[in-house]
Amino acid sequence: MIIDLIDYPTLRVIWWLLVGILLIGFAIMDGHDMGVGTLLPFVAKSDVERRVAINTIAPHWDGNQVWFITAGGAIFAAWPFVYATAFSGFYWAMMIVLWALFFRPVGFDYRSKIEHHLWRGVWDWLIFVGSFVPPLIFGVAFGNLLIGVPFHFDHDLVSTYTGSFWGLLNPFALLCGLVSTCMITLHGGVYLMHRTEGEIQRRARIWVSVLGLLFVVLFSLAGIWLAFGISGYQITSAIDPAGFSDPLAKTVVSAPGAWLQNYSRWPLFMALPLLGYVGVIAAVVFARSGKTLWAFILSAVGIAGVIGTAGVSMFPFIMPSSSDPRSSLTVWDATSSHLTLFIMLVVALIFVPIILIYTSWAYAVMRGKVTAAYIRENNHSTY
């Protein structure tokens, strides 16, 4: 049969990679939209300047949401245990993200309906909230995954979350949230520099420099904390990579330094945290020298390095359990069936390239600077 072309363990690893790629795509594409929204009140002072900033992302922000939806759908279909456990345990955090995201489309569409400074000022700050909160919460979520989430499965494989919303806001998770926020906001600042000129570009350059420095400091602090202050998880029993998905069919222990073991096994993966540093630092250098397109590409490389670092550090774990380690969800026991993963892979190989081609075409058509003169000349057809 054609399904036998790829064995079950290989498909499980492929989907771990694909989900990671989708998350990176979301962080890069929707991330620069959110970065622009976060910087909106600070780099654009007048109404015209804020309209310039908004119109740099106006043609693309809703299309970039495809990455968010696709990543969520992939987790639902490929990792049903993870989807069910995470969306119940992180319920209120997810709701905060969704409520914040509501402000973005409404803010973009309604801010220019009435020409009044108070009306537009309120919507501008709501766009800021809708852009600042999601990266912060997503970073906090990753921080909690690295610490371990308090949940367990019963004998019927029904998960129960035993933590609280406030428990998610622990110091290490908040630090990871700040790393995520700096990274995404810097990415948006570089994009603003690429699409604008004059005072907006100058202010964005300052923010990019500051955020680059903050990122290096915070990312380093998170790495040190993870290496010396947080215990990771490791599987101590035999596992069957081709077996049925049963999270309870293994033994897991918490051990200091466990999240660093993969780098000892496969030293090549040390390139990932280096990419995080090099990408962001080079992005700042290129942005300050006026090579904004290269700065944007390098910022994207930095994002890929940071997310890749989290994924490789945890592999094969996806969602460790701090209250019952054997309930931890891994690449080998949290996936859908062999047939489901194979069909999804075929679908992904067809539609992901289509998304990439269309997105590239849309950005090529809409390339160029957005200026104050353009906004004034197209007053009724711009945001």
| Cα–Cα nearest to 187, from 21, 24, 45, 69 | 24
- pLDDT of 2 above 80: no
- pLDDT of 309 above 70: yes
What are 99-148's pLDDT values in tens digits? 999 998 888 888 888 888 889 889 999 999 999 999 999 999 999 999 99
Residue 380: the pLDDT is 65
Q: Average pLDDT of 10-14? A: 95
Q: Average pLDDT of 231-251? A: 91
Contact status, residue 104 vs residue 40, Cβ threshold 8 Å: no
Q: Residue 1: which pLDDT band, with cuts at 50, 70 and 90? A: low
Q: How many CB atoms lie within 10 A of CB 320?
A: 25
Q: Average pLDDT of 278-282? A: 96
Cis-peptide, bond into residue 105, ω within 30° of zero? no
Q: Average pLDDT of 170-175? A: 96
Q: What is the 3-state secondary structure (H, E, C) of 281-349?
A: HHHHHHHHCCCHHHHHHHHHHHHHHHHHHHHHHHCCEEECECCCHHHCEECCCCCCCHHHHHHHHHHHH
Burial 34-57 (b: 16+ CB within 10 A, else e): bbbbbbbeebbeebebbbbbbbbb
Say how far apart CA 202 and CA 128 lie, in whole Å: 20
Residue 143: the pLDDT is 95
Report percent pLDDT > 70 for the chain.
Answer: 98
Residue 381: the pLDDT is 57
Q: Average pLDDT of 263-277? A: 94
Predicted structure pTM score: 0.92
- pLDDT, the chain, mean: 91
Q: Residue 371: which pLDDT band, with cuts at 50, 70 and 90? A: confident
Identify the three-state secondary structure at position 248.
coil
Q: How far is CA 82 from the centre of its chain?
A: 17
Q: Which tokens is 257 given?
A: 């330094």
Q: Average pLDDT of 161-189? A: 94
